[in-house]
Amino acid sequence: MKKTKVYVGGMHCDACSTLITSQFKKVDGVRGVKVDLGAQTAEIMYENHVPSVAALRARAEKFGYTVSTTRPVPAGQQRIPLWQWGVAALIAGGLVGLFALLQRSGLMSAIGTASAGASYGVALLVGVVASLSTCLAVVGAIVIAFAETYQAAPGESAASAVVRPNILFHIGRIATFAVLGGVLGLIGGELSLSGRFVSVLTMAVAVFMLLLGLNILGIAPSLTRLGIKMPARLTSGLDRMKTSRSPVMPLALGGLTFFLPCGFTQSMQIMALGSGSIVRGALIMGLFAVGTLPVLFTAGITASWTCQHRVVVFQKAAGLLVIAFALFTLSSGARLFGFTGRITPGTTVTTPPSTTPPVTTPPVTTPPVTTPATSQRIEMHVKYSGFEPAVLHVKKGVPVTFAVFGDEVTGCTSRIIIPSLNISKDIAAGENDITFTPTASGNIPYSCWMGMVHGTIVVDN
């Protein structure tokens, strides 16, 4: 058995090396393949004639990888023109601005993704970014395999032969992600999560996303090098399922992608666990899967991976966008770190408005007497766009009634957390009172239970 080596550019994870191995084995003359992810190489075993590099390249390039006989320049050392970074920053900034606009408009509430619900919006957009990242190359490979496996039967159109399994694949994928996301949320709720625990989970999501963003930019290693790999048995099983023409295989394959070691998927799974709710967990994972649908469905129908490594500008934009979401999520988790009480919210109860007519009293004409205040009241309204007003002022040493009006309560804003006072309060429609006495001047931060929506109570002397 003889050996030759080629360099494969664009591999980021164990799934990538598995895909390259399976593709190279289909080339004439290849008897074995050994991929080294760290070195970005593939060792090809053969007997008589050296396998064609052009054939190897053709197999790899349709999934966005490069093949060469000389060592390519590492992604982190490639000289990228400044204008490309500028365009990437504009694209990422525009998407972040669009996300913020949707949050404030209340439109995301109409589709079930309001406020922390910011977590729902993040899940949806992270799904879009993930589908355009080579970290999900294995999922793209699975849907592309449909085009090679599902050929038209006699009397059946080619389009129908390919479209049907792709539709089944995404039905299985979205349904499984939603169901198992709900299970994760249910498990999180049964664990009686504390604010500190949810904070750690949220910041773990941020760290995963930060590593992913830095990896896309070519700055950090892949999660695979940290030991997160796909089991070999699952890998071989997926390879066999991809070539099966059974009508249930696309459904099963779509569901099994939930378990693939994709950092994007894993970060959303942690977020679903931290949600502490079967509904919120299902929405987080379901919306993430929906976000990946447009690109993956297109890839399966056209039988070509849409994210080519040559689209440097978009790769950089995706990396910057993921880093921006990571920092946003990290700050959300940090806001909850000081709170140790249970924060998993209960069911929001709608309280009907009071029908009792207001009591009117005649104006008092007695001159006012200056006396020290014995109590003070502040009011805040929960809206789809956030807390209004978010900043409130009180006096030190005077008991406070913090009246929170649940005008537009969502999943996240159904509970208010004041970490420094160890206060956690369910918020229903109507007025909800929180009482406390500030003992020192300064700022008292408060937030929704996920830390996504926040405000400040300023204590003056």
| Mean pLDDT of all residues in 434-440 | 92
Tell me what the pLDDT averaged over the chain comes to.
74
Q: Flag whether pLDDT at 205 surpasses 80.
A: no
187 vs 380 pLDDT, higher one: 380
Q: What is the dihedral of CA 385, 212, 228, 41, to 10 degrees?
A: 160
Compute the chain's Rg from CA coordinates. 27
Instruction: Give the model's pLDDT for residue 215.
Output: 72
Cβ atoms of 459 and 122 within 8 Å: the answer is no
Both tokens of residue 185? 């949320």
Q: What share of the chain in percent tops pLDDT 90?
A: 20
Digit-coded pLDDT (tens) for 420-430: 888 888 888 89
Q: Flag whether pLDDT at 335 surpasses 80.
A: no
> Whole-model pTM?
0.54
Q: From 435, 409, 444, 447, select the one nearest 198 (Cα to Cα).
A: 447
Instruction: Give the model's pLDDT for residue 150.
Output: 56
Instruction: Give the model's pLDDT for residue 446.
Output: 92
50 phi/psi in degrees, rounded to 5: -65, 125
C-alpha 431, offset from chain centre? 33
221 phi/psi in degrees, rounded to 5: -70, 165
Instruction: Give the model's pLDDT for residue 111.
Output: 43
Distances (CA, A) of 304 to 105, 141, 243: 37, 9, 17
Tell the CATH superfamily of the 376-460 domain. Cupredoxins -  blue copper proteins (2.60.40.420)
Identify the CATH assignment for 2-72 out of 3.30.1300.10, 2.40.50.140, 3.30.70.100, 3.30.565.10: 3.30.70.100
Digit-coded pLDDT (tens) for 57-108: 988 887 768 899 888 765 555 566 788 788 888 887 887 777 667 656 655 5
Instruction: Give the model's pLDDT for residue 351.
Output: 42
Q: What single letter denotes the amino acid at residue 442?
A: G
DSSP letter string, 406-436:
ESS--SGGGEEEEGGGTEEEE--SEEEEEEE
Q: What share of the chain in percent tops pLDDT 70?
A: 63
User: What are the residue boundaries of the structural domains of the chain, listed by start?
Assistant: 2-72, 77-335, 376-460
298 vs 459 pLDDT, higher one: 459
Q: Flag whether pLDDT at 45 surpasses 80.
A: yes
CB burial of residue 171 (10 Å; 0-12, 13-18, 19+): middle
As a whole number of angstroms, the distance between CA 169 and CA 159 comes to 16
59 phi/psi in degrees, rounded to 5: -65, -35
Beta pairing partners, 448:
416
Query: Regarding beta strands 400-406 and 41-46, do their DSSP bridges make them parallel or antiparallel, or are they unpaired?
Result: unpaired
